[in-house]
Amino acid sequence: MSKNIKKTKEIQLDDSLINSAIAYFDRLPRSPTEVIENWAEIGRAAAEQLTEEELMNLQLRNKEVKITVVSKT
């Protein structure tokens, strides 16, 4: 049985992403690292659900993308 081991890696992030996380952190009781990890999880969930075109539009912010959350029943 495999254990869920948390591993960390050093990665380089764009300064604007870090600055956005810090500004967001100022409004919430989370660290910038926790904010970025949360955004990464949201991005992974979006990547699993959206089409390539929807992902591109979401990333480029050139169209509004509507996301609806539904239960997995």
- Tell me the mean pLDDT in the region 63-73: 76
Number of domains making up the chain: 1
What was the pLDDT predicted at 4? 64
Q: By percentage, how much of the chain surpasses pLDDT 90?
A: 0
Domain assignment present for residue 5? The answer is no
Domain assignment present for residue 36? The answer is yes
- Tell me the mean pLDDT in the region 33-47: 86
Domain assignment present for residue 25? The answer is yes
CA nearest 46: which of 55, 34, 38, 35?
Answer: 55
Domain assignment present for residue 71? The answer is no
Domain assignment present for residue 39? The answer is yes
Domain assignment present for residue 68? The answer is no
First to last CA, the chain: 27
Domain assignment present for residue 35? The answer is yes
Domain, as residue range, for 36: 15-60
Domain assignment present for residue 66? The answer is no
